[in-house]
A and B are shown apart, each in its own frame.
Chain A
Amino acid sequence: MPYSAEISRTSPTCLLFLIDQSTSMDGPFGGQPGKKKSEGVADSINRLLQNLVLKCAKSDGIRDYFHVGVIGYGDGVQSALGGALAGRHLVPISAVANNPLRVEQRTRKVDDGAGGLLEQSFKFPVWFEPVAQGQTPMCQALTLATRVTQEFVTQSPEGFPPLVVNITDGRASDADPRPAAAALRDLGTTDGNVLLFNAHLSSTPSPPVVFPAGAEELADPYARHLFKMSSELPTRLFDAARADGFDVIFGARGFVFNADLVSVIRFLDIGTRVAQGVRP
């Protein structure tokens, strides 16, 4: 079955995030009133990276199941990682874990187990700040992603194929992005083609759409483009989405509208998951 290669330290896979940093991202985010799209994106990518790191964190450190890159596109197309990781297209997840721009101390309310709420402090790492400047050279970003993933699959020709997650408000300024997206999805390993998933953040306060199987319910023309550019969920990810309570139907694609793709991190199988802890 395709997309069943084991993800391990000896056979890691590649996760590449493409982040729209264009001026239009300064507009309001329909998914969260009071927030700009660029802030929605920064939240989203920080949570994605955090979840990815936690997935790989063990008591003795981080296991490098993933090589990760973040490419920003707006006023240029380049790695959006900062600090010690600046300029690098792909880094092991352990390097991401150990090099956030800063770690904030935040608090949240948690169940105290006795019917009350308890304030608990926790650390929140930040790798990525909101940026909204320039055009939307999405085609160039997809072309750079093709180069980076090509290099990865050459080194790892039998591994789980790279997953590219594009987060945008949808309006490519350089050309129709669909051919560049198709070229990216044409790459692959013996285990399957490169997966391209898209998260569309819109200024329209429309209800979120998650993993649709058709473009009919998408009113926005850019959303329909992005849907068509998105890979179908492979069987194992589809099953994981089902198991996680997503109401997906046959043909569901890796596309969300006014929602984030953090759930996708949970679908990647590196061993026993801890979503269903119980107490006898």
Chain B
Amino acid sequence: MSERPATTTWRGLCLAKRGHGADEYEDAFAADPGAGRFAVADGASESSFAGAWARLLVDGFVRKQDGPNWLAAARRDWAAQVDGRPLPWYAEAKREQGAFATFLGLVLGRTPEGEAVWRALAVGDSCLFQVSRDRLVERFPVSDSRAFGNQPHLLGARAAGAARGDGHAERRGSWRPGDRFLLATDALAQWFLSRHEAGERPWEALAGLGADDFGAWVEECRERDGLRNDDVTLVVIEA
């Protein structure tokens, strides 16, 4: 697939877990719409320096040219940020373990023949949804709202500590102009799937949201509609 720019508009929205300050938000999102590259990541709450790791992952992914080294580079950058600082014993131990995050990256592009295609890479339960002509045509990598838990596969910031199994998934597909892609971290993705399972069109509620009303909508949804209290991140792409 060529990485020729796709014609897209996008927006990213986020809110920290209730009870946490904005500086404690540990998800991240990034986009390079010109290159058709988008990503979200969710730093694991039980790991340290996880917000920085999530940020490096999404930035590294959307800036990636060719080659598989973006992850190694993100790990080097993370180590450069956190290593060498004097820390209390517990922070030192957590730093040695490394930070962890779930990740979802999406690339939109066209084949040399002009066919509109996408590919996605996922580790854990950050999710991609594709809506085409008002139908949910793709959900990846989690397809059932009951499949979320507190032990998703994670990408580790320390290569040695991260080599426990292999939980990454890849998918490819095609798209048509007018399709909508949604990238969401786990709490919102779980809500989205459960509303869809109940026969609703959850993308309609999300389509109208902007930076000014996203926070109020999330709070309302936490209060009344079963949205789990967690950092929430949403990237909406109109292809």
Least distance between B138 CB and chain A CB atoms (Å): 20
Asked whether A122 lies within 8 Å of B96 as measured between CB atoms, the reply is yes
Asked whether A55 lies within 8 Å of B48 as measured between CB atoms, the reply is no
Interface string of A263-280 (1 = CB under 8 A from B): 000000111111111111
Asked whether B166 lies within 8 Å of A277 as measured between CB atoms, the reply is no
Contact of B153 among A57, A59, A123, A276 (CB under 8 A): A276
Asked whether A276 lies within 8 Å of B168 as measured between CB atoms, the reply is no
Given known contacts A59-B91, A277-B161, is B45 in contact with A272 (CB within 8 Å)? yes
A117 at the interface (CB under 8 A from B): no
Interface residues of A, count at CB 8 A: 38
A101 at the interface (CB under 8 A from B): no
Asked whether B91 lies within 8 Å of A270 as measured between CB atoms, the reply is no
Identify which of residues 164-198 in chain A touch chain B, using a CB-to-CB cut-off of 8 Å. none
Asked whether B156 lies within 8 Å of A277 as measured between CB atoms, the reply is yes
Asked whether B149 lies within 8 Å of A271 as measured between CB atoms, the reply is no
- How many residues of B sit at the interface, in one of the four size bands? 35 or more
Contact of B156 among A100, A120, A122, A278 (CB under 8 A): A278
Identify which of residues 118-169 in chain B touch chain A, using a CB-to-CB cut-off of 8 Å. 121, 123, 149-156, 159-168
Least distance between A161 CB and chain B CB atoms (Å): 19
Asked whether B90 lies within 8 Å of A97 as measured between CB atoms, the reply is yes
A9 at the interface (CB under 8 A from B): yes
Asked whether B155 lies within 8 Å of A58 as measured between CB atoms, the reply is no
The SS class assigned to the B binding surface is: mixed
Identify which of residues 81-120 in chain A touch chain B, using a CB-to-CB cut-off of 8 Å. 97-98, 100, 103, 110-113, 120
B79 at the interface (CB under 8 A from A): no
A8 at the interface (CB under 8 A from B): yes
Given known contacts A276-B154, A278-B153, is B94 in contact with A54 (CB within 8 Å)? yes
Least distance between A216 CB and chain B CB atoms (Å): 32
Given known contacts A57-B91, A113-B159, A122-B96, is B168 in contact with A280 (CB within 8 Å)? yes
Least distance between B106 CB and chain A CB atoms (Å): 15
A212 at the interface (CB under 8 A from B): no
Given known contacts A270-B46, A272-B42, A273-B46, is B89 in contact with A278 (CB within 8 Å)? no
**Cα distance A8–B18 in the bound complex, in angstroms:** 10
Can you identify 22 A-B contacts, CB atoms within 8 angstroms?
A53-B90, A58-B48, A97-B90, A103-B89, A111-B160, A122-B96, A123-B89, A270-B46, A271-B45, A273-B150, A274-B44, A274-B46, A274-B97, A274-B154, A276-B152, A276-B154, A277-B154, A278-B156, A278-B162, A279-B159, A279-B166, A280-B166
12 more contacts with CB within 8 A, not counting A55-B46, A273-B150, are A57-B93, A58-B24, A58-B48, A59-B50, A59-B94, A97-B90, A269-B150, A271-B44, A272-B44, A276-B153, A278-B154, A279-B159
**Interface residues of A, Cβ cutoff 8 Å to B:** 6, 8-10, 53-55, 57-62, 97-98, 100, 103, 110-113, 120, 122-123, 125, 243, 269-280
